[in-house]
Amino acid sequence: MEPEIKIRGYHTDFYNHVNNARYLEFFEEGRWQLFEDYLPPEVFTQGKYSFFVVNINLSYMGQAKINDIIVVKSGMLKFGNKSAAFRQQIVKKDSNEIIAQADVTFVVADKSGKALIIEDEIKKMLLNIPPFEN
């Protein structure tokens, strides 16, 4: 379920559009929802794996202003050997205009904090998450 957020005064800044940093909270909200929808709960309840973000490539294509309703779309972008990436977009609900896009590269770590190879059980777990679709 893609989060929908109505833009309020406290989301915006001096320029009367959503502040750069706030977008990262919206994207984080999208990832929490993605995990909730597609990952087995024991990942979280047992703290078996942790996800560490190592890079976010963030593009601002438009502006969200007060009263806009935005939707946070998220999906898998790619798999590497030791990391994988989500793609996320913030789009205006009415026009589908893309406001911001984030490619979020992460590693999966075990309880000791060691980054794991993305294979076998971990790869299978991540394959539950649908690929990003425009």
Q: Catalytic site residues? A: 13
Among 4, 8, 78, 128, binds its own copies (CB under 8 A): 8
- Closer residue to its own copies, CB minimum distance, 46 or 55: 55
Give the integer Cα–Cα distance in Å for 102 and 105: 9
* Binding map of its own copies across residues 59-88, x = CB under 8 A, - = no contact: xx-----x----------------------
User: Of the listed pieces 49-57, 71-79, 86-94, 118-126, which binds its own copies according to CB under 8 A?
Assistant: 49-57
User: Of the listed pieces 15-23, 77-85, 87-95, 126-134, which binds its own copies according to CB under 8 A?
Assistant: 15-23
Residues in touch with its own copies (CB under 8 A): 6, 8-10, 12-16, 19-22, 24-25, 28-29, 32, 52-60, 66
